[in-house]
Amino acid sequence: MKTRITGLISLAFLCFQISAHASGIATHLIASEQAVELIEDQDLKRLIQKYPDALRSSTSFPDGGYPLDYSWGEPAHWAPFQNAYIQRIKEVCLGRYLTNAYCGKLAVHLMGSVGHGFQDQVTDALLLPKIAQEDGTDQTADQDIDFFVIADYPNRQASIPQTWFIPFFDVFYTFEDMGLGRVNWLEILIGGSLIRIGMVGEFIIFPFAYAEGIKNIPWARDNYITYPGGINQMTITSARLYDYLWDRLNEQDENKRAALMPFPEPGSAVPHNNVRTDSQIGVIADRGIIPNTVSAEDFVVTSEYGDVVSGSFNMRTSLSNPIAESHLIIFYPRQALEPNTTYKVSISANIKDENGLPLVPDEGFSWEFQTY
């Protein structure tokens, strides 16, 4: 009996250790699955619904490099991987996504993989700073929010893939094209297996960890779904991303304007003095934005009295960078906004997307919000 108990404790500890590396996966999965219902292209929607395990496998895929510190874990999250993977898939499967099972799964794998890194951008930029402000830390937020998702969304176990789809060689050649020569198929297999164990581990430790999660980040427990960067926003923006990626796979993205989600939400009222959270200003795009095209002349915030708001931009990289690495433009006012004031945000067509096209129509794009 003592040996059995010791074994169970050891198993629980192992699950806890691995699930710590898999933290955030349940959150990614619910956003990705809900996003499918909002996809506009019906061919793509039916394709993902046909191969749900390919989406679930790929949604966790980028984090598979983390448990053993494989070299590909971090690069799998960002734009160079997205672009190399799209090119690889087009070379192998262009025109055959709906008629060839492997090509269909490969296209779906792209959606989940790229969607994961995109969702990280949205959450890291908008939700986590607010959690840090309200709860004093965001260090445990990824794993704690997973436990909230398990509690709030029924049948989460069904999101663990029954058939784990990993397109070893196409992913391997994608990394090779990126210059990550040390990557091999065995690393990818091991990474995926560990993430799957971690996903199961979260369900095992959930009864013991849920209450601790509430204690760690109580504000997040009540707001992780609806606050900017939370589940709702991740879901809507991921659907737009999937439609855009489908256009790119089919070489139909030429001259299509970006789909934008502004924040604060048009017509909403936000506190005037939380310039790093509630009153940060910006847009989430369905595609990358070229940083060196963003400037204070082309992204302008003015008050109802005509005063131009000064501030700084955050795009996860230097504003002199000519390579699109972020889907977000975030503007931080240098000082607190005025209370009880309407502000207008105006974006000009000089800001370019990753294809070199204007991010917005020639006449520009604008919206208004209020402060209190």
**Residue range 93-103, pLDDT digits in tens:** 999 999 999 99
Provide the pLDDT for residue 20: 55
Residue 347: strand pairing partners: 299, 365
Q: Where in the chain is the domain with CATH 2.60.40.3710?
A: 257-371
C-alpha 362, offset from chain centre = 28
Rounded to whole angstroms, how far apart are CA atoms 225 and 236? 12
pLDDT one-digit tens code per residue, 82-118: 999 999 999 999 999 999 999 999 999 999 999 999 9
The H or E element spanning position 107 is helix 101-122
Provide the pLDDT for residue 22: 55
Rounded to whole angstroms, how far apart are CA atoms 66 and 99? 34
CATH architecture classification, 257-371? Sandwich (2.60)
Q: CA separation (Å) from 232 to 99, 115, 122, 238? A: 33, 14, 11, 10
pTM higher than 0.75 for the full model?
yes
pLDDT one-digit tens code per residue, 239-254: 999 999 999 999 997 7
pLDDT one-digit tens code per residue, 15-52: 445 555 556 999 999 999 999 999 999 999 999 999 99
Q: Is the peptide bond before 62 cis (omega within 30 degrees of 0)?
A: no
Q: What is the mean pLDDT of the chain?
A: 92
Provide the pLDDT for residue 226: 97
Provide the pLDDT for residue 255: 76
Provide the pLDDT for residue 236: 98
pLDDT one-digit tens code per residue, 121-166: 999 999 999 999 999 999 999 999 999 999 999 988 888 888 889 9
Beta strands at 326-333 and 311-314: parallel, antiparallel or unpaired: antiparallel
